Chain A
Amino acid sequence: MYKILFKQTLLPKIHLMRIEAPKVAAKAQAGQFVVIRIDERGERIPLTIADWDNKEGSITIIFMEVGASTARLAALNEGDSIMNFVGPLGLPTEIEKFGTVICVGGGVGIAPVFPIARALREAGNRVIAIIGARSKDLLFWEDMMRTVSDELIVTTDDGTYARKGVVTIPLKELLERGEKIDRVIAIGPAVMMKFCSRTTQPFGVKTMVSLNSIMVDGTGMCGACRVAVGGVTKFACVDGPDFDGHEVDWDLLAARQRMYIEEEKMSFERWLAKHAVTA
């Protein structure tokens, strides 16, 4: 069992948890993920690592309530435990001194971008961060991102906070500004990563994305997370999760993410119905 040491509700539907897993914390690197299972009936849920604390022996995860499993996780509190916690999985993000790097985080994707931006800055890069969300009530960790970036741009799609518009607008402006951009990292919903990759392609700037495909074991066994990169089938769990965004088959990723959409809806409605009664 893995204890929830700390829980913070960042926004109405977005939660942060620090979970006790000292061995995982000792090995975690930016860009890697964990697979958790809440209890005996639970599914295996992959979540990208948002941070780790070697002293406390904890891993930080941030997740949004989007279905039955995340709602069940959100219902747990400090002191509760989850049954399984496996990691650190996947290959770490490539960290080198590239020069100037733009880190783009969209929605819950802001969480995994944070340790990557931090590592890139520690490696001597100039880090420009763009973080965006649909609306003010879905935007978090602006303060955290400010601590790891030389320049920070914040957007909301609906203009309820900071700059109105999607993240690709400032991304394009930065690329056009004339200064040399050596690499772009974009993490967020598939559609956001797709359009970030499209934005950078004409400028020839290498763009790495972190693919959040459906997974079961997370160790290369099941093949659920198949993605096509440069026309070749890869497993996001062991060959990634980071891939060259210019090579990713985005339509395939989007289609495969929707594979269980009916089941997910049914499961969530069932959960909501059950909890409406007890509430």
Chain B
Amino acid sequence: MPKLNLNREEMPRQDPKARGKNFSEVALGYSFEQALGEASRCIQCPKPLCMTGCPVSVTIPEFIRALREGDMPAAAKALKMKNALPAICGRVCPQETQCEQVCVLAKRGAPVAIGRLERFVADWERRQQEAASAVLPEPTGKKVALVGSGPAGLTCAADLAKAGHSVTIYEALHVAGGVLMYGIPEFRLPKEIVQADINYVMSLGVKIELDSVVGKLFTVDDLLKDGYDAVFLGTGAGLPMFLNIPGENLNGVYAANEFLTRVNLMKAYRFPEYDTPVKVGKKVAVVGAGNVAMDAARSALRLGAEVVYVIYRRSRAEMPARHEEVENAEEEGIEFRLLTNPKRFLGNEHGSLVGVECYEMELGEPDESGRRRPSVKPNSEFTIDVDVAIIALGTTPNPLVAQTTIGLDTTRHGTVVADETTGRTVKPGVWAGGDTVTGAATVISAMGAGRRAAADIDRFLREK
């Protein structure tokens, strides 16, 4: 047996100084030699734990083996069998808490860089333009409507189409992709890649109707009446949360959703060539420390902000963002103000933001989330001068669909109640999955839910 190689191939990245000024992708991807080197570290476990860590059960050892043997078409085929969006997952999945966390090499050293290999194979395949050659089964004559074209919907659609059902996705925005398009920035997930994965899903025969706000243009009940045999709700968690403190409606205070939508979806970074503007400011405070907060902070920097703070009420250990993203942000010069929480936003006579007054915080006993509970240090107020603030505290499901669907069950958090393994809601013929069921989570967990729902919808349609 060859000696174990416990060190992974480093991912080439753009220089931090240069990338802080452009929107090009930060991680550059492996070369063929690097990919082969990394793939050769996989010891091909007979009982691969990595697969159990993957929400969509990608046959990881199989695609890595094909890659190692230089059989790229076989590697791509193995990858795409279980994952319709591998180029996206290779970039935004939190592999460190999924497949790579349970990789046997992780116990001894660095796990196999599964995500980077996934990205390499998916990028290779996209360049070959062989994606559209999927062989479709006989049509079943069954029709399924999906609401929302984010990761849950796209995955569900691909699986249902591969099973021979006629699939139509209704999307509220003017482009498909949901959070992949409006939320995650270009430098972390190039839109060209999202588009390529969407094109693949469409090549399977999936129709996407844009500009269609379900709940307004028609209801879920209308869809069921109009001849759809099943409806899947993958409407995500699109409603921004605010701090509910004084001054939050001042000009210059954005929800991360708005800031990122203006930049990513509306291309405000190219204003005035594109019509949508965005205020960037010289000094920017981002409140929150999840992946969305890192995306917003790094976007503000790229748009020309002189200083960008991340304000977070707990300490580094509790930050919910991926370590890699925090490191990237830090390298680029984002300043972290930890154990700090806004008390109020301060404005000038025109109603524009000029500063944020904060408390210093300290950590006490763990709360129900298992993280140490922050509390305010008395008389610790201080002010940070900023002209733009971006609130990135998380999102909750948009109530538009649930409110207009008769007989759907929702929780007090606004999430749709659905069975975890099948995605079935209490309303016959209606399934749901992704952030709209779980509250804001990851791209891959939404994809997993889309896949499970597709399997159950397929079962239901065949028995019908």
Contact = CB atoms under 8 A, between A and B. Distances in A.
B241 to A, nearest CB: 10
A217 B211 contact: no
B148 to A, nearest CB: 11
A12 to B, nearest CB: 23
B275 A84 contact: no
Interface residues of A, number: 42
A260 B277 contact: yes
Interface residues of B, number: 41
A37 B174 contact: yes
A126 to B, nearest CB: 31
Contacts of B352: 255
Given A86-B211, A267-B277, A270-B272, A217 B249 contact: no
A264 B275 CA distance: 9
A264 B239 CA distance: 27
A275 B456 CA distance: 57
A266 B272 contact: yes
Given A44-B266, A223-B257, A255 B251 contact: yes
Contacts of B28: none
Contact of B238 (A23, A87, A221, A252): A221
A211 to B, nearest CB: 13
Main secondary structure of the interface of B (DSSP, over half): loop
Given A24-B217, A87-B216, A217-B172, A263 B240 contact: no
B272 A221 contact: no
A97 interface: no
Interface string B259-284: 00110001100011111110100000
Contacts of B276: 43-44, 216
Interface in B198-220: 210-213, 216-218
Nearest to B403: A238
Nearest to B252: A259
Contact of A233 (B213, B242, B351): B242
Interface string A79-98: 00001111111000000000
B100 interface: no
Contacts of B242: 223, 233
A223 B213 contact: no
B255 interface: yes
B30 to A, nearest CB: 33
Nearest to B349: A255
A199 interface: no
Interface in A80-132: 83-89
Given A219-B400, A220-B400, A238-B400, A267 B217 contact: no
A160 to B, nearest CB: 33
Contacts of A42: 275
A23 B255 contact: no
Contact of B258 (A85, A86, A224, A267): A224
A256 interface: yes
A234 to B, nearest CB: 10
A197 interface: no
Contacts of A251: 351
A55 interface: no
A221 B398 contact: yes
Contacts of A74: none
B174 A220 contact: no
B398 A256 contact: no
Nearest to A218: B213
B258 A222 contact: yes
Nearest to A222: B258
Contacts of B216: 27, 87-89, 219
Interface string B344-355: 000000111000
Interface string B22-52: 0000000000000000000000000000000
B58 to A, nearest CB: 31
A92 to B, nearest CB: 10
B173 interface: yes
A41 interface: yes
Nearest to A27: B217
A90 B216 CA distance: 8
A161 B168 CA distance: 54
A267 B173 CA distance: 24
A127 B261 CA distance: 42
A153 interface: no
A87 B217 contact: yes
Interface string A55-93: 000000000000011001000000000011111110000
A41 B398 contact: no
16 contacts: A27-B218, A41-B267, A68-B275, A84-B174, A87-B216, A88-B216, A221-B238, A222-B240, A222-B261, A223-B242, A223-B257, A238-B400, A255-B251, A256-B351, A258-B350, A267-B272
